[in-house]
């Protein structure tokens, strides 16, 4: 072998190979560690969620210092694919920024999961919407030092949830028992500037935008964009486990969910990873069939309601049938809720007042 050949092999072994290795190490994010379960899941009548059995795990890493937390599968009938709402933690020398706080019952476990990767103080919390699987441990984490940010509507929904105000519908949240759990830094959605961040944090090498959303899943939604990691936490206006849920009593709207998808279309790039509160991670093309389905069900519900059909008749028409096969985690309850929402939305839909709508009382 010539001297030149030796030199060539040397270059390959000592220069090129380590570069490839380094490259392999730098392109490995995001890493999904624990995907949500697929089911099907069944629970006996009278089943109670065994909170003591539910673990909060680091289920994904979006960058070296941006982790996703989620609960165990198969135990929580509200979210059998993975208990609770996804939470996120950005951590480093500037402290911890949390997106949502998980259920109150697993607050200690959520903190323990965070402490498995950082000892930094809890500094900032943003709530994506009022539901207890996203805000339940607010008071606990505020006591750890976190300052809670959210839309003003979310704060109002927490102070006086629809059920407590004597209204029917899908109320979601228990009244705030502990005022320590209320957001203290609030902002509004500005219809003139959709997609405009209300708050931007620069910390731990990341730039984080809190972007208030139009009334969609609720009237107090915020999505959270991590610019460097190129991920957006899109909370619950999109879901791929069970049928769409617009919490209309808390100001949500199916039409608003369509607008929310359209806004993501503008905000996200082709490689931006979208993190829903539940279900699997997606990229923006995957939102389009969902958008089409919501639009289709709204149109069909409108046609039937315009013909004078009652809610019972509309439910019996089984409008979601074409989608049942492709919808993971679909249940009769999830279908009926979705169609009822469409029925309620296409005629005499009440306006949002202080984060809520006065929806008809049923059941």
Residues of this chain that bind Zn ion (CB under 5 A): 85, 133, 236, 277
Give 146 or 276: the residue with its C-beta nearer to Zn ion.
276
Give 217 or 255: the residue with its C-beta nearer to Zn ion.
217
Residue 236 Cβ, how far from Zn ion at the closest point, in Å? 4
Residue 228 Cβ, how far from Zn ion at the closest point, in Å? 25
Query: 89: closest CA among 226, 199, 284?
Result: 226
Residue 133 Cβ, how far from Zn ion at the closest point, in Å? 5
What is the DSSP secondary structure assignment for residue 321, as one 8-state letter?
Answer: H
Helix (H, G, I), strand (E, B) or coil at 246: coil
Residue 67 Cβ, how far from Zn ion at the closest point, in Å? 18
Helix (H, G, I), strand (E, B) or coil at 30: coil
Residue 316 Cβ, how far from Zn ion at the closest point, in Å? 29
The answer to whether the CB of 82 falls within 8 A of the CB of 73 is yes
Residue 302 Cβ, how far from Zn ion at the closest point, in Å? 27
Helix (H, G, I), strand (E, B) or coil at 104: helix
Structure tokens that stand for 106 in this block: 């697993």
Give 70 or 155: the residue with its C-beta nearer to Zn ion.
70
Beta-carbon contacts of residue 87 (< 8 Å; ≥ 6 apart): 68, 69, 70, 98, 99, 100, 101, 102, 110, 134
The answer to whether the CB of 228 falls within 8 A of the CB of 205 is yes
Give 133 or 206: the residue with its C-beta nearer to Zn ion.
133
Q: Is the bond leading into 40 cis (omega within 30 degrees of zero)?
A: yes
The answer to whether the CB of 350 falls within 8 A of the CB of 357 is yes
The answer to whether the CB of 29 falls within 8 A of the CB of 63 is yes
Give 63 or 248: the residue with its C-beta nearer to Zn ion.
248
Give 91 or 245: the residue with its C-beta nearer to Zn ion.
245
């Amino acid at each position: 072998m010539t001297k030149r050949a030796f030199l060539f092999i040397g270059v390959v072994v000592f220069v090129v190979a380590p570069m490839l290795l380094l490259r392999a190490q730098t392109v490995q994010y995001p890493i999904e560690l624990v995907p949500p379960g697929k089911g099907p899941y069944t629970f006996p009548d009278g089943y109670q969620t065994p909170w003591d059995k539910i673990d909060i795990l680091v289920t994904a890493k979006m960058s070296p210092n941006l982790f996703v937390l989620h609960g165990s599968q198969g135990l929580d009938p509200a979210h059998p694919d993975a208990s609770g709402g996804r939470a996120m933690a950005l951590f480093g020398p500037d402290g911890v920024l949390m997106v949502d706080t998980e259920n109150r019952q697993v607050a200690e476990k959520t903190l323990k999961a965070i402490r498995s990767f950082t000892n930094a103080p809890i500094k900032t919390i943003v709530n994506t919407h009022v539901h207890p699987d996203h805000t339940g441990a607010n008071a606990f984490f505020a006591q750890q030092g976190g300052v809670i940010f959210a839309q003003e509507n979310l704060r109002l929904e927490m102070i006086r949830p629809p059920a407590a105000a004597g209204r029917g519908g899908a109320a979601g949240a228990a009244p705030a028992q502990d005022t320590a759990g209320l957001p203290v830094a609030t902002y509004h959605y500005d219809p003139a500037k959709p997609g405009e961040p209300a708050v931007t944090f620069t910390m731990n090498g990341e730039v984080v935008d809190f972007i208030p959303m139009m009334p969609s899943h609720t009237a107090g939604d915020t999505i959270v964009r991590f610019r460097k990691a190129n991920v957006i936490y899109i909370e619950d206006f999109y879901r791929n486990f069970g049928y769409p849920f617009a919490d209309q009593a808390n100001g949500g709207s199916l039409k608003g969910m369509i607008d929310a998808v359209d806004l993501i279309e503008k905000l996200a790039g082709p490689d931006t990873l979208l993190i829903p509160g539940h279900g699997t991670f997606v990229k923006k093309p995957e939102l389009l069939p969902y958008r089409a389905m919501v639009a289709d069900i709204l149109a069909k519900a409108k046609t039937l309601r315009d013909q004078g059909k009652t809610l019972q008749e509309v439910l019996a028409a089984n409008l979601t049938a074409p989608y049942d096969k492709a919808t993971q985690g679909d249940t009769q309850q999830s279908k009926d809720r979705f169609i009822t929402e469409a029925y309620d939305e296409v005629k005499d839909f009440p306006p949002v007042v202080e984060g809520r709508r006065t929806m008809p009382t049923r059941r």
